Structure 1
């Protein structure tokens, strides 16, 4: 294939832009903020699991307290009922029976109130534990927002850079012969991003292989407008005064 030396040199500009696009695209996937956000998500998951555990324990204690309060209410009503009966009956036998029952009910009430106090103390402890987890959850959420915001701002800037580079690439590609651009782009795929390289001091800048022997002789014999390739990496070798041939 033939192409003027100037056209071939334009490929170096195209290669520089394509290399920069790949570098910036790689940055979008390797930002440290990605790892930070992932770490915070794991931390948030752990906090949510603790919230489920602590919240469940708190709910159980509240249910237990509700049952005890209900039992206390029942006993208090029976004490009030029996006290009223004692005051309204004239039967000594009934009074004795009621007094016996009242003694038993007051003992039951005392025991329930003791249990109630203990459960209320446990309730306070669980409420305090839940409050701690809530604060941790809110703190992680706040850090998550900050990390995601910072990441998104960086990604937006990188995407802007990629957009500008691609526009510049279109401009440069538009100045190069279409057949040469097609060849370059095929090499870009097969060379995994390395399609054109400057030959400097007989060394390919794409793979750093120095030409010697027959490879160097073929390059020296090639016409200036002939498109040649690196025998090692296959990139289009662009010759200039720096080539040393």
Structure 2
């Protein structure tokens, strides 16, 4: 294949733009914020689950406390009624008085036991609520940290997109000036050679594979017409001759 030296030189401009676009794409994929956001997202999900579990535990304990307090109230009310009956003087039967006094004593013990239960539940709820407050604080901190990381990522992506849009537009202009067959060859080689389809021959070295050419290859290039497409024998990329090729 033949192409005008000016068209071959345009391949270097095109390659420079493609390499920039590849670097931008790599940077887009490997922003450290991606990993940070994923890590914080996992931490946040765990904390949210723990908060829900603690809230459920506190809600269950609240119902348990309400039930225990109602039991205390019922026992207290019954004891008050019995005490009023005892104090009224209307009960004259010794046996009935004895039974009533025994019941008042039993109710007092029962009330004391139930109040102990209420206190135990209240202490347990204090512990749960303290733990819950800590978890909520951790969750909110993780959310804020994730929001900050997301904002950094979005800002970095916006910057990358701006650069990429500019380079893509410029690439379109340069690519349009390259002959179709030469562009097709360049694209094919670029796909095969990790994004580099054309490289300059600089000081007798291929800038694609960074290897210095042997004397036989250099003599063949010297003998080739200026419009001949030259390929590196080592990496098979298009070699573009410049004033600094060292020929």
Please give the range of the TM-score, normalised by the shorter of the 2 chains. over 0.9
Deviation of 1:31 (Å)? 1.2
- Match of residue 112 from structure 2: 110
1:89 partnered with 2:98: no
Q: TM-score, normalised by structure 1?
A: 0.93
Contact 2:36 2:149 in 1 (8 A): yes
- Match of residue 75 from structure 1: 75
- Once residues 82 and 140 of structure 2 are traced to their aligned partners in structure 1, the CA distance between those partners, rounded to angstroms, is 53
Deviation of 1:235 (Å)? 0.9
Deviation of 1:195 (Å)? 0.3
SS of equivalent residue, structure 1 residue 65: helix
- Once residues 61 and 37 of structure 2 are traced to their aligned partners in structure 1, the CA distance between those partners, rounded to angstroms, is 36
Aligned residues: 245
Deviation of 1:214 (Å)? 2.6
1:30 partnered with 2:30: yes
Structure 1 window deviating more from structure 2 (8-17 vs 145-154): it is 145-154
Contact 1:89 1:95 in 2 (8 A): no
- Once residues 43 and 123 of structure 1 are traced to their aligned partners in structure 2, the CA distance between those partners, rounded to angstroms, is 25
SS of equivalent residue, structure 2 residue 217: helix
Contact 1:196 1:237 in 2 (8 A): yes
The equivalent position to 2:153 in structure 1, one of 151, 154, 178, is 151
The equivalent position to 1:188 in structure 2, one of 187, 190, 198, is 190
- Match of residue 166 from structure 2: 164
Cα deviation, 1:105-155, whole Å, max 9, x if unaligned, reads: 011111211221222122112111101111111111111111101111111
Cα deviation, 1:186-226, whole Å, max 9, x if unaligned, reads: 11111120101000111000111111133222212211101
- Once residues 198 and 59 of structure 1 are traced to their aligned partners in structure 2, the CA distance between those partners, rounded to angstroms, is 73
- Once residues 72 and 30 of structure 1 are traced to their aligned partners in structure 2, the CA distance between those partners, rounded to angstroms, is 63
Q: What does residue range 3-18 of structure 1 map to in structure 2 within 5 Å?
A: 3-18=3-18
Uncovered stretches (5+) of structure 1, i.e. residues with no partner: none
Cα deviation, 1:146-197, whole Å, max 9, x if unaligned, reads: 1101111111110121111110000111122122111111111111201010
Q: What does residue range 110-149 of structure 1 map to in structure 2 within 5 Å?
A: 110-149=112-151
- Once residues 147 and 190 of structure 1 are traced to their aligned partners in structure 2, the CA distance between those partners, rounded to angstroms, is 36
Uncovered stretches (5+) of structure 2, i.e. residues with no partner: none
- Once residues 192 and 113 of structure 1 are traced to their aligned partners in structure 2, the CA distance between those partners, rounded to angstroms, is 77
- Once residues 153 and 12 of structure 1 are traced to their aligned partners in structure 2, the CA distance between those partners, rounded to angstroms, is 31
Q: TM-score, normalised by structure 2?
A: 0.93
- Once residues 222 and 51 of structure 1 are traced to their aligned partners in structure 2, the CA distance between those partners, rounded to angstroms, is 75
- Once residues 46 and 90 of structure 1 are traced to their aligned partners in structure 2, the CA distance between those partners, rounded to angstroms, is 65
- Once residues 41 and 204 of structure 1 are traced to their aligned partners in structure 2, the CA distance between those partners, rounded to angstroms, is 46
